[in-house]
Amino acid sequence: MGTKGTATRARLIGGARELLEAHGYAGTGLNQVLAASGAPRGSLYFHFPGGKDDLVTAALEAAGAEVGAALADLADEAPDAVALAQRMIDLFTDRMVGSDFTKGCPIAATAVDVAATNDRVHEVCTRVYSSWQRELALRLAAEGRDPGTADAQAWSALSLVEGAILLARATRSRTPLDRARGSVALLLKDD
């Protein structure tokens, strides 16, 4: 694929990512993606011959990798697991507030929308969430938690964060995320 083809594919993925995060799977149509990306219609099926599901999975994987890379950077900078989880919350809070509550977690709207009914989307959502959880679990284990405890605490922290994102978006208020910062400190405190 040439430079132009790579750029067109990236625009399609970018357009899909924006729409999926704001509107979920059902609220994201291919015509909307084409309009948002400025890509020609023929390019969609050239780059994503499987149609919407191919595009959606590529968009979710790209969004998941972007957040995963940000979490890896935060893990390098954070002094401990609590700070890492709080900085994760800050990352999502900044996305949400900066978008006037149309964004937050780039996976959540689609996961809630179709992960239970669409196996391809379910697999991608599972992979992405697992990679984020693993980043936190590794940090907890490095601080001396046994692997089972680290794994369970990381899933609990991620659940807390995702729940706060949902509530913040639903209430159009950052308060649930601000409160999650304190709650995650209690959840992950080293006994």
CATH code, domain carrying 100: 1.10.357.10
**Rounded distance, CA 24 to CA 20, Å?**
4
Asked if the structure places residue 75 within a domain, the reply is: yes
Whether the per-residue pLDDT at 162 is higher than 70: the answer is yes
Whether the per-residue pLDDT at 185 is higher than 90: the answer is yes
Mean pLDDT of 96-110: 92
For the chain, the average pLDDT equals 93
Q: What domain range includes position 148?
A: 56-188
Mean pLDDT of 45-74: 94
Q: What is the pLDDT of residue 86?
A: 97
Asked if the structure places residue 65 within a domain, the reply is: yes
Asked if the structure places residue 24 within a domain, the reply is: no
Number of domains in the chain: 1
Q: What is the pLDDT of residue 1?
A: 58
Asked if the structure places residue 50 within a domain, the reply is: no
Asked if the structure places residue 107 within a domain, the reply is: yes
Percent of the chain with pLDDT over 90: 88
Asked if the structure places residue 30 within a domain, the reply is: no
Whether the per-residue pLDDT at 137 is higher than 70: the answer is yes
Asked if the structure places residue 33 within a domain, the reply is: no
Mean pLDDT of 7-12: 94
Asked if the structure places residue 67 within a domain, the reply is: yes
